Amino acid sequence: MRTIVHAITTAITLGAAAAMLASTPVLAAPSAKSMRAMMNEMKAKDPQSFAACMALARQRGYLGGDTGEGMNTGQMMFIDGCLMGKQR
């Protein structure tokens, strides 16, 4: 009888733990495709300012392509802030 109670308790505990883990959202890093799309959108809105911000980013040590190719998240955030007037 005790074995059955322990087996049922274990099954319920494992089922509840699996349900909790399955419902936990997982934060993923932005993919290169979405980053590229965001950079292309920024560039399309104001190409002249985008080019100026990209040049400023390069001066400050950020390396990457003009269209988001090989661009890291820090560089994208810098350019986004620059376009909003937060970088000097």
How is residue 12 written in tokens?
A: 């319920």
How is residue 29 written in tokens?
A: 């890093």
| Cα–Cα distance, 69 to 46 (Å, whole number) | 19
How is residue 15 written in tokens?
A: 């089922």
Q: Please, are residues 36 and 69 in contact by the beta-carbon 8 Å criterion?
A: yes
Residue 63 has pLDDT above 90, yes or no: no
| Cα–Cα distance, 48 to 2 (Å, whole number) | 75
43-57 residue pLDDT tens: 888 899 999 998 999
How is residue 63 written in tokens?
A: 């390396």
**pTM (2 d.p.):** 0.53
Give the ranges where 24-72 is alpha helix by DSSP (H).
32-45, 47-59
65-78 residue pLDDT tens: 655 556 678 888 88
Which amino acid, 46? D
